[in-house]
Amino acid sequence: MDIAVLGTGSAGRTIAARLAELGHHVTIGTRDPEETAAREDFGEWAPSAPDVTLGTFEDAAAAAELIFLVTNGGAALDVLDLAGAGNVAGKVLVDVSNPLDFSRGFPPTLFVKDEDSLAERVQRAHPDARVVKSLSTMNASVMVRPADLGESTSVFVSGNDADAKAAVSALLESFGHDDVIDLGDITTARGAEMYLPLWLRLMGGLGTASFNIKVVR
């Protein structure tokens, strides 16, 4: 599949590399490809994912059948503007971003919560996109290789489009997820996003980001 990963941070790079490893044709999107290619962290990562193409947010989204949104949460809507509404319309848009506000230091607060969510803002801004919130409740390494934790754990999907959630669930299963829980429509992304404060405390308490929720029932 032709897939765009909008975001060149550690999560975007990790997802892009894993998708390419699984045989997808992946373009990773950024504001300024030349500047991004010159970054030390990107330059160290790029040889490990030689099949991933670097392009602008617009180029990446235009070529894609399915799009991962993996940018700074505060920039998510701007990034989709740069990608172009027409390049997003009708496509499955996997929202991995979190609405974290670091302006008052660590731990961050949530800049939207309770009665709204970042995923809903994305869906409202792009009503024709088939938005699915997923993967944001775990570290990037766990997102793409959950089996490395040594036992089955849970991942959530939220969205209004059942076919889009099925397509995303299939991708998650190809990463190794074997407990994909459909929370319901896009408003259920609020719960996934509001888990982040607990995730951050768990990371501090456990001293590692390599953990995940297992929903036992």
Instruction: Identify which of residues 10 and 53 has a Cβ nearer to ligand NAP in the complex.
Output: 10
Which residue in the set 97, 158, 169, 188 belongs to the binding site for ligand NAP (CB under 6 A)? 97
Cα torsion 91, 95, 96, 101 to 10°: value is 150
- Note whether 132 binds ligand NAP by CB under 6 A: no
Q: Count of residues binding ligand NAP (CB under 6 A)?
A: 23
Which residue in the set 31, 166, 187, 191 belongs to the binding site for ligand NAP (CB under 6 A)? 31
H or E element: which one contains 181? strand 180-184
Site stretch for ligand NAP (CB under 6 A), options 66-74, 144-152, 169-177, 180-188? 66-74
Q: Are the C-beta atoms of 70 and 12 separated by less than 8 Å?
A: yes
Contacts of 12 (CB under 8 A, 6+ apart): 5, 6, 28, 68, 70, 71
Which residue in the set 140, 164, 167, 171 belongs to the binding site for ligand NAP (CB under 6 A)? 140
Which residue in the set 4, 52, 96, 110 belongs to the binding site for ligand NAP (CB under 6 A)? 96
Which residue in the set 98, 158, 169, 212 belongs to the binding site for ligand NAP (CB under 6 A)? 98
Q: Going along 8-119, which residue ranges are E strands? A: 25-30, 53-56, 66-69, 92-95, 100-101, 109-110
Least Å from the CB of residue 49 to ligand NAP: 14
- Note whether 73 binds ligand NAP by CB under 6 A: yes
Alpha carbon distance 215, 137 (integer Å): 13
Instruction: Identify which of residues 73 and 159 has a Cβ nearer to ligand NAP in the complex.
Output: 73
Question: 68: which strand partners?
Answer: 5, 94
